[in-house]
Amino acid sequence: MERMIGILGGSGVYEIEGLEGAEWVRVDSPFGSPSDAVLTGHLDGVKMAFLPRHGRGHVHTPSSVPYRANIDALKRLGVTDLVSVSACGSFREEMAPGDFVLVDQFIDRTFAREKSFFGPGCVAHVSLAHPTCPHLGAACADAARSAGVTLHEGGTYLAMEGPQFSTLAESKMYRDAWGADVIGMTNMPEAKLAREAELCYASLAMITDYDSWHKDHGAVEITEIIKVLTGNAAKAREVVGRLPALLGPTRDDCPAGCNRALEHAIMTAPEKRDPDLVARLEAVAGRVL
C-alpha cells in the first residue's frame, strides 16, 4: 500500500525545504469545509499532505477548528499516517519550554466539539485505550532525536476547551490530582477522529510555557509563548523533514491495528443504517460499510 504522511500543524511547519511538486489542493468534505486547502507534494519519494489546523493566518479558534472535515479530507486524499504538531504548556519541571513531548495518552476536557463521525443511524465504538500509534510514534522519536530535539517519550495531554488559558486552581488540579504532563487545546477530538478514520496517529507536543502552576514563571504570557513557538517551528520542520526517509513510500498493515480500528466497531444492523449518514462515511468507513 502506498504511504502518505499527513501533517496537522501551524503555518511554520509546512514550509519544508525540498518538497517537490508542491500544490495547494481544495478538498470537499460532507462534514463541512476543512480549515484550509491542503498542501500536497513529495519529500524523499514519499507523498506528503500538510493541513494548517487553524487555517493560514490563524482564523480558527480551538473550538471552531472543523476537526471532522479536516480528518475526512486528509483520508480522502489518501493519508495513511497522521502526525499532529501542536503547542502546549507543561506541568513538569523537567519538561521545559522548547522541549518536545511524544504524547501517548489524553484526558479530554473539551465540550463544544463534534467528537465522532458516527451517530444515530450508524453507531460505532472504537477502542481508545492506546490512542496513538506506537509504530508512527517511534519514527517521530527517531526523527526528533536525529534533529537534535530534546524529546520526552510518553506523556499525558490534557485537552481543554479554551480559548482562555487555565486558572491557577485548574492548573494545579490537572498537574497534582490528575497527573497530566502537558496541556493543550487541539489534540481532542483529533485523536478520536483519526482512530475512527483508521489512521495511524502520533502527537508531537511542542512546549511553550509552564502553564500557570509554576511559582517562578507566573501566569502564561502570550508574547513569551510566541517567542518560543517561533523557535519550536524550526525544530518541527526538521523533524517532519526526516520522517519520509524513516517511514518509506509504502506501508504494510499497522502492527497496532490502527488501520483496522473499525473491524468490529459498527453496532447498527445493516438494514437499520441511515443511508444518508452511510454516504457521508464513505471515506472514513467505506472499507467496512
Q: Which residues are known to be catalytic?
A: 209, 211
DSSP, collapsed to helix, strand or coil, labels residue 276 as helix
Cell digits of residue 37: 486547502
Q: What is the rounded distance in angstroms from the CA atom of residue 197 to the CA atom of residue 260?
A: 9
Q: What is the rounded distance in angstroms from the CA atom of residue 202 to the CA atom of residue 138?
A: 9
Around 102, how many Cα atoms within 13 Å sit in the side-chain half-sphere? 23
Q: What is the rounded distance in angstroms from the CA atom of residue 110 to the CA atom of residue 224?
A: 25
Other Cβ atoms less than 10 A from the Cβ of 230: the count is 11
- Would you say the C-alpha torsion 227, 228, 231, 234 has a positive or negative sign? negative
Cell digits of residue 195: 482512530
